[in-house]
């Protein structure tokens, strides 16, 4: 062995040791130790050199992506021997349905492996972290990871929340229009029964909030909230029904249908010279 990277560590009648620094793939092969006796005795061992995979890279992502578009993300790493394993994760949850490709480098006897993640963009993927993980026996259980944060643009999602579930005449009500989209939706548009709000003095719009004071039956109708952004627009409706004021009866005295009374009267009768009488109680 004639190489500056190979050093003689120990030499005796019983042991001959060498060390190899800066190991490369070319060091792989069969090594022979010989004892020059008569006859010559030899011992052989085959050295396997692992090819460490390069740090992976994710390609194919262009920001932003519109909801409903197809996304194809490819993770690629080279230099592994044997071929490395690639796994995909979305928010730490593994994605199984992927395509795997392995190519061998004929000169260096290493492998270039790639994997493609194919899916339709959804608004729930906005802000999700997609990671590509490369596992290989040369990494000592410490995988190499590449990450990509997704940015998905989508039309607004609109919802109306009412402050009063049973509005009555004379009361107030606050309707809040929650709109979520990317990019952030523009200020919302409030309408009633397909037209403008009929009473601006009582119907006040502040941002996404519609406040109606001193409710009456003329306020009955369908209120629509519409939100839009550069991707599109969306709306939702709320049907307002103003109820009559609930009348509460004052406390009254209940009189029983049957009443019993006892009356005692003393009656004096005219007495003659011969007879007399005493009045008796009459019930």
Q: Extract the residue ranges of the chain whose pLDDT is less than 70.
A: 247-283
Radius of gyration of the chain measured on its C-alpha atoms? 47
Please name the residues in contact with 72: beta carbons below 8 A apart, sequence gap of 6 or more: 60, 116, 117, 118
> What pLDDT is stored for residue 222 in this prediction?
97
The answer to whether the CB of 247 falls within 8 A of the CB of 206 is: no
The answer to whether the CB of 152 falls within 8 A of the CB of 61 is: no
For the chain, the maximum distance between any two Cα atoms, rounded to a whole number of angstroms, is 183
> What pLDDT is stored for residue 271 in this prediction?
47
**Which backbone phi and psi does 217 adopt, to 5 degrees?**
-65, -20
Specify the long-range contacts of residues 231-236, CB closer than 8 Å, at least 24 apart: 231/66, 231/67, 231/153, 231/154, 231/155, 231/181, 231/182, 231/183, 232/155, 232/156, 233/155, 233/156, 234/155, 234/156, 234/157, 234/158, 234/179, 234/181, 235/158, 236/158, 236/159, 236/160, 236/177
**Which backbone phi and psi does 209 adopt, to 5 degrees?**
-110, 130
> What pLDDT is stored for residue 258 in this prediction?
57
pTM of the predicted structure, to 2 decimals: 0.70
> What pLDDT is stored for residue 260 in this prediction?
55
> What pLDDT is stored for residue 237 in this prediction?
97
Tokens of 22: 């800066």
137: left (phi over 0), alpha (psi -120 to 50) or beta: alpha
> What pLDDT is stored for residue 264 in this prediction?
54
Give the domains, in start order, of the chain with CATH numbers: 6-47 (no CATH), 57-150 (2.60.40.10), 155-240 (2.60.40.10)
């Amino acid at each position: 062995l004639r190489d500056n990277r190979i050093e003689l560590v120990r030499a005796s009648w019983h042991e001959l040791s060498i060390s190899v620094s800066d190991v490369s793939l070319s060091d792989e092969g069969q090594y022979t130790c010989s004892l020059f006796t008569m006859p010559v005795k030899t011992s052989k061992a085959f050295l396997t050199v692992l090819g460490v995979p390069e740090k992976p890279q994710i390609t194919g992502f262009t920001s932003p992506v519109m909801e409903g578009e197809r996304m194809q993300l490819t993770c690629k790493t080279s230099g592994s021997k044997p071929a490395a394993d690639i796994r995909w994760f979305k928010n730490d949850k593994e994605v199984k349905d992927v395509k795997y490709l392995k190519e061998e480098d004929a000169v260096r006897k290493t492998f270039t492996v790639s994997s493609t993640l194919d899916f339709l963009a959804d608004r729930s993927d906005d802000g999700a972290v997609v990671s590509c993980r490369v596992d290989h026996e040369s990494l000592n259980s410490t995988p190499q990871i590449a990450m990509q944060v997704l940015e998905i643009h989508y039309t607004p999602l609109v919802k109306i929340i009412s402050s009063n579930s049973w509005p009555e005449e004379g009361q107030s009500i606050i309707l809040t229009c929650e709109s979520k989209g990317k990019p952030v939706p523009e200020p919302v548009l409030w309408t009633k029964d397909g037209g403008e709000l009929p009473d601006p003095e009582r119907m006040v719009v502040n941002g996404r909030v519609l406040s109606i004071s001193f409710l009456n039956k003329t306020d009955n109708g369908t209120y629509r909230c519409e939100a839009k952004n550069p991707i599109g627009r969306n709306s939702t409706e709320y049907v307002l029904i103003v109820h009559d004021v609930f009348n509460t009866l004052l406390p009254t005295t209940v009189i029983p249908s049957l009443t019993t009374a006892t009356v005692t009267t003393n009656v004096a009768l005219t007495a003659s010279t011969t007879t007399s009488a005493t009045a008796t109680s009459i019930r």
